[in-house]
């Protein structure tokens, strides 16, 4: 049996482009004792993957010819291990491919009775819903009385952060680029306000929307947007650094915040985090988000591109603009 996969073909100088990736076919190995054959149903498209494409990458440089890493959910087709049987839904680090053979221990069996498997890449995803929950609550100490600002608010993690803060009772302002994203934030997610950084002065709009200052900032972007928010912090504000997609194309030339002294001036804190470090918080996050989703209260949009050959296109859309959680269905 063959698997169709996406490999890293050439290292980009700046943003990834079509030639960065290649689609190839490979023969799968014969199933051995303790292994399972999995059909990949959905793959998660995440910004962290793009950080591995440069020579000096944040998560380590991916070697040329390697399969693009990606979390996925799938279905067990054959099993040589008693812990998994044919038809089981599983989650794991699958890589960007249509099928794979691996040890049963690399997969986590999913209960899909109430929640579809793909939710474990979206609202319950390690890099999306769980990241947003941990950043806001465990790191940021989210309170119902907070005014929360989220950058990259229309993306997957940003959308989840907006929803979690809104459902916890906070006043939420989202920063995104373009009229369609602003409309999504206001109309679909129902947050209190939205700023279009492409057509508006972010600092001035924050002053107008949050005259008393920002209590909690969940940052996915970095750069100039981070500086604009730092200029508008409330006393004892909390700044949570989740990511910095504006900096990912040139991690060897990262531009740090020039307004960081506002943190001292406002007796604020600024702290970064990685979601895997805070595994002790995951169970609580999953329980709360699952309850919201079952009640129909979690409203993050999903976009699914069909065909493994669409994986490069989906990766490029991280930079050209997308809304909500993006996945590929091989």
Top-confidence residue, 43 or 251: 43
Q: Between the CA of residue 263 and those of 178, 219, 271, what are the distances in Å? A: 29, 15, 11
Query: Are 2-122+301-329 and 129-276 equal in CATH topology?
Result: no
State pLDDT tens for residues 103-122.
Answer: 999 999 999 999 999 999 99
Cβ distance 316 to 16 under 8 Å?
A: yes
Whose CA is closest to 123, among 315, 296, 298, 284?
A: 298
- The phi, psi pair for 237, rounded to 5°, reads -70, 160
Residue spans per domain, the chain: 2-122+301-329, 129-276
Query: At 236, is the pLDDT very low, low, confident or very high (cuts 50, 70, 90)?
Result: very high
Q: Tell me the pLDDT tens digit for each residue of 157-211.
A: 999 999 999 999 999 999 999 999 999 999 999 999 999 999 999 999 999 999 9
DSSP 82: T
Q: Does domain 129-276 have CATH number 3.40.50.720?
A: yes
Separation between Cα atoms, residue 296 and residue 240, nearest integer Å: 28
Q: Residue 249: pLDDT above 80?
A: no
* d(C-alpha 80, C-alpha 117), whole Å: 22
Tell me the average pLDDT across 86-109. 98
Q: Of 238, 319, 311, whose CA–CA distance to 273 is shortest?
A: 238
Quote the CA–CA distance of 116 and 311 in Å, as a whole number: 21
Asked whether residue 56 carries a pLDDT value surpassing 80, the answer given is no
Nearest Cα neighbor of 299 from 172, 122, 127 is 122
Nearby residues of 97 by Cβ (< 8 Å), 6 or more positions away: 3, 4, 5, 6, 40, 67, 308, 330
- The share of the chain scoring above pLDDT 70, in percent, equals 97
pLDDT at 239 over 70: yes
Q: What is the mean pLDDT of residues 231-245?
A: 95
- Sign, CA dihedral 191-196-197-202, equals negative
Q: What is the CATH number of domain 2-122+301-329?
A: 3.90.180.10
d(CA 271, CA 202): 22
Whether 79 shows a pLDDT value over 80: the answer reads yes
Binned at pLDDT 50, 70 and 90, residue 41 comes out as very high
Stated pTM of the model: 0.92
What percent of the chain shows pLDDT beyond 90? 86
* DSSP annotation string for 222-241: -HHHHHHHHTTEEEEEEEEE
Tokens representing 245 are 């997609």
Whole-number average pLDDT of the chain: 94
Q: Is the pLDDT of residue 254 over 80?
A: no
pLDDT at 258 over 70: yes
pLDDT recorded at residue 320 = 76
Q: Say if residues 175 and 242 touch (Cβ distance below 8 Å).
A: no
Q: From CA 195, how far away is CA 282, in angstroms rounded?
A: 31
**224 falls in which pLDDT band (50, 70, 90)?**
very high
């Amino acid at each position: 049996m063959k698997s169709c996969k996406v490999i890293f073909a050439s290292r980009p100088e700046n943003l990834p482009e079509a030639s960065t990736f290649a689609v190839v076919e490979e023969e799968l190995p014969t199933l051995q004792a303790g292994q399972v054959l999995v059909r990949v149903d959905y793959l998660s498209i995440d910004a962290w993957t793009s950080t591995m494409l440069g020579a000096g990458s944040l998560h380590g440089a991916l070697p040329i010819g390697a399969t693009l890493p990606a979390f996925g959910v799938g279905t067990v087709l054959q099993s040589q291990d008693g812990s998994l049987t044919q038809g089981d839904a599983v989650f794991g680090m699958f890589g960007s491919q249509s099928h794979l053979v691996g040890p049963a221990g690399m997969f986590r069996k999913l209960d899909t009775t109430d929640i579809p498997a793909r939710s474990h890449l979206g609202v319950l995803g390690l890099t999306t819903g769980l990241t947003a929950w941990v950043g806001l609550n465990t790191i940021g100490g989210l309170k119902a009385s907070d005014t929360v600002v989220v950058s990259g608010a229309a993306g997957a993690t940003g959308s989840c952060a907006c929803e979690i803060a809104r459902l916890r009772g906070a006043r939420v302002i989202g920063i995104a680029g373009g009229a369609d994203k602003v409309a999504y934030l206001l109309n679909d997610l129902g947050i209190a306000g939205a700023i279009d950084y492409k057509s508006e002065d972010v600092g001035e709009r924050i002053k107008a929307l949050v005259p008393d200052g920002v209590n909690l900032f969940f940052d996915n972007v970095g750069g100039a947007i981070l500086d604009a928010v730092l200029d508008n912090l409330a006393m004892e504000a909390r700044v949570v650094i989740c990511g910095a997609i504006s900096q990912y194309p040139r991690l060897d030339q990262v531009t740090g915040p020039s307004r960081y002294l506002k943190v001292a001036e406002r007796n604020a804190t600024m702290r970064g985090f990685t979601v895997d470090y805070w595994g002790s918080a995951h169970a609580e996050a999953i329980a709360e988000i699952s309850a919201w989703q079952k009640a129909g209260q979690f409203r993050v949009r999903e976009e699914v591109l069909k065909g493994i050959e669409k994986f490069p296109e989906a990766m490029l859309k991280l930079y050209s603009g997308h809304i909500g959680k993006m996945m590929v269905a091989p």
